[in-house]
Amino acid sequence: MQVILAQPRGFCAGVVRAIEIVDRALVKHGAPVFVRHEIVHNKHVVEALRHKGARFVEELDEVPTGAVTIFSAHGVSRDVESDAKTRQLHSIDATCPLVIKVHTQGRQYAASGRTVILIGHAGHPEVEGTMGQIPGKVILVQSEAEVALLDLPTDTPVAYVTQTTLSVDDTRNIIAALSGRFANLVGPDTRDICYATQNRQSAVRELSKRVEVILVIGATNSSNSNRLREIGTESGVPSYLIADGSELNPEWVRGVEVVGITAGASAPEEMVKDVIATLRQLGPVDVSVMDGREEHAEFRLPAELADPSPRKRAAGTATAETAPQPDPQTAAG
């Protein structure tokens, strides 16, 4: 069996940063540190951090007064931020800088008097956080059909922002529907969309031209991983979302000569290796990596955690202070 790995795949800079924040908070403050929501949507990552002393909670009323509390990469609403202050929590924000950028854009649009529309998935923590970061009413739309149902006059000044785990391709039709509906519509430059989402989706599209089956490594509650599976299926290739090798059904690859593997932005590379090891139990496997974008993005850590970790000092790698805050457009490489 030939296995082709998508390039890029797996961890993005926002996920690396969020995990590093929990790691460093544990070193600096000692266990336990509390994390609101899964730091990233991956049970292996969460379990590894739990093992080190992180405690995951869904709401702040589960956190003792004054405790160190980390907000996940998905971001939180202003209500959550102010609740943390009221409870005198020592909060550390692991929200991805690209999500914060969406918050800032939304606030600017609202301040200029526009009705803000968020294109995203209802119930996703990033969507809840973004809606709660923009003052006034934010309207969530999930499809072109919902655009048609919007109860707004066509001359309303409108602006849209998007959930980061949707790509340019995902949002194109909804934005076109908004343009057809509203004469005065503005939105961010499409190059502002998350580089990692776009790159992983483009890679899986390329992968789908060369393989018979696609295995997407990621969690069922990971929006970007689900989207990768959907793109594989839409491209006409049977595609399956699995957390690790234990979820691989041998029937999916029986008689298959070329298997493609990709991983969502919150899935560790160890899980890709785990799936390859499981495939090897079924027969000889030849692994190659497809040509694709190299990513070099690295996001700066919060100031209070920016001292180089012992691990990084020993490795002699760039420290958080010296690492540049990338422009996500160039970071896409």
Phi, psi of 29 (to 5 degrees): -105, -15
- The helix (run of H) or strand (run of E) holding residue 140 is strand 138-141
Site for ligand SF4 in 47-86 (CB under 6 A): 73
User: Which residues are 69's β-sheet partners?
Assistant: 34, 91
Nearest CA to 292 out of 257, 319, 260, 314 is that of 260
Between 178 and 217, how does the x/- string for binding to ligand SF4 read (CB under 6 A)? ----------------x-xx--------------------
d(CA 253, CA 1): 9
126 annotated active-site: yes
Active-site residue (options: 38, 59, 81, 126): 126
Distances (CA, A) of 138 to 146, 161, 203: 14, 10, 32
Residue 138 as a binder of ligand SF4 (CB under 6 A): the answer is no
Residue 12 as a binder of ligand SF4 (CB under 6 A): the answer is yes
Between 228 and 267, how does the x/- string for binding to ligand SF4 read (CB under 6 A)? -------------------------------------x--
Q: Which range of residues in 91-99, 115-123, 239-247, 271-279 is near ligand SF4 by CB under 6 A?
A: 91-99
Q: Which is nearer to ligand SF4, 72 or 278 (CB)?
A: 72
Q: Which range of residues in 6-14, 178-186, 203-211, 241-249 is near ligand SF4 by CB under 6 A?
A: 6-14
Single residue of 3, 6, 15, 80 touching ligand SF4 by CB under 6 A: 15
Number of Cβ atoms within 10 Å of the Cβ of 270: 12
Contacts of residue 96, defined as CB under 8 A and 6 or more positions apart, other chains included, come to 13, 14, 15, 17, 18, 73, 74, 75, 164, 299
Minimal distance, residue 43 CB to ligand SF4, in Å: 17
The residues annotated as belonging to the active site are 126
